[in-house]
Structure formats: C-alpha cells, structure tokens
Amino acid sequence: MLTAGLMKEMMEKNRMTVRRILQLSLVFLAGLLSCAVMFFGIYSAMAVDVHFNPLLSILYCALPILSLPVFLLTFVFRKLAALQAILAFAYLAVYSALNWRTCSSLGDCGSVADTFLLTCRTHSVLAFFAAAIFSIAALVADKQTSFRISPK
C-alpha cells in the first residue's frame, strides 16, 4: 500500500505543467507531420520516374523517408532536432532543382526564383519544415534540456 508521502512525491514528479503539456503537444505535432512526410516520400518512391534525373529523383524520395527515423532518434539524441531542419532545407533544394529541370525541359518556366517560391508553397515542403520547427520547439520547451554554456 502506498503511503501518503510516497503518493504525494509521485504526483509532484508526474505533475502536468503548462510547459510539459506544450512540449508534449509539440512532440505530437512533429511526430504526426514527420509520419505524413515519410508516407509522402514512400508514395513518391513508388510513383517517381528515376530515368529523367536519377540523383535528384532518389534524393527527392529518400529525404522525406528519413524524416520519421530522424524524429524518432531525437528522443535518444536530443540535438538531432537540428538535423531534421537540415533535411528540410536539403529537400527544398532538391525539390526546387527537380521542378526547375522539369519545367525547363517542357519550356514553361518563368524564372528560377518563381520556381523556388512555387516549390516553397507545396504541402510536402511546408509539412517538412513544420515538422522540423515543431521538433526544435519541443526541444526548447523541454525543461530538462539546458542550453547554457558551461564556464571552462
């Protein structure tokens, strides 16, 4: 049987604060978006034509698939949240280059900047960046993570 002191100590330890609820909500959103991005990458891998531009096409499919594994690794290595942002920027660059090559071969491109901005507004790019932002925000909201620089 639990004593009153032990029960009180357990409740204090597991108390849900606003900060903890925020952190769990951010982790949930980041996980949900990472899962959606990964499924988009799997769908793209099944549907993409790799003969047009093999390297860009493989990266276009592989980078989103890595979203969920990197997110799951952030539970073990907290600093890997930044890697998800790096993957999002790499995906944006690859997707923009692939869009530019596709529309230039068809002859209906406006400009490189226009193609880049159109790529930035796609759902997969927005979801990838949102997953990275939520993952980093969850890391910042976690009270156990310290960002202080220790004196030497």
Does residue 14 carry a pLDDT above 70?
A: no
The pLDDT value recorded for residue 44 is: 93
DSSP state of 19: H
Identify whether 150 is part of a domain. no
Whole-model pTM? 0.80
Number of structural domains in the chain: 1
Could you tell me which residue, 9 or 82, shows the higher pLDDT? 82
Whether residue 26 lies inside any domain: the answer is yes
- What Å distances lie between residue 34 and 59, 88, 96, 126, 150, CA to CA? 17, 11, 20, 11, 33
3-state secondary structure (DSSP) of residue 46: helix
Structure tokens at 129: 């960046």
Residue 148 has pLDDT above 80, yes or no: no
Domain-located, residue 63:
yes
pLDDT digits (tens, 9 = 90+) for 92-107: 999 999 988 888 878 7
The predicted structure's pLDDT at residue 45: 92
Amino acid 8: pLDDT: 60
Residue 24: inside a domain: yes
Q: Is there a domain that residue 55 lies in?
A: yes
Does residue 30 sit within a domain? yes
Whether 133 shows a pLDDT value over 80: the answer reads yes
Query: For position 79, what pLDDT does the model report?
Result: 79
Distances (CA, A) of 64 to 51, 98, 101, 123: 20, 15, 20, 12
Q: What value does the mean pLDDT take over residues 21-36?
A: 92
Quick one: average pLDDT of 101-121? Answer: 85
Do the domain assignments include residue 73?
yes
Structural domain harbouring 127: 19-141
- Average pLDDT of the residues in 72-99: 90
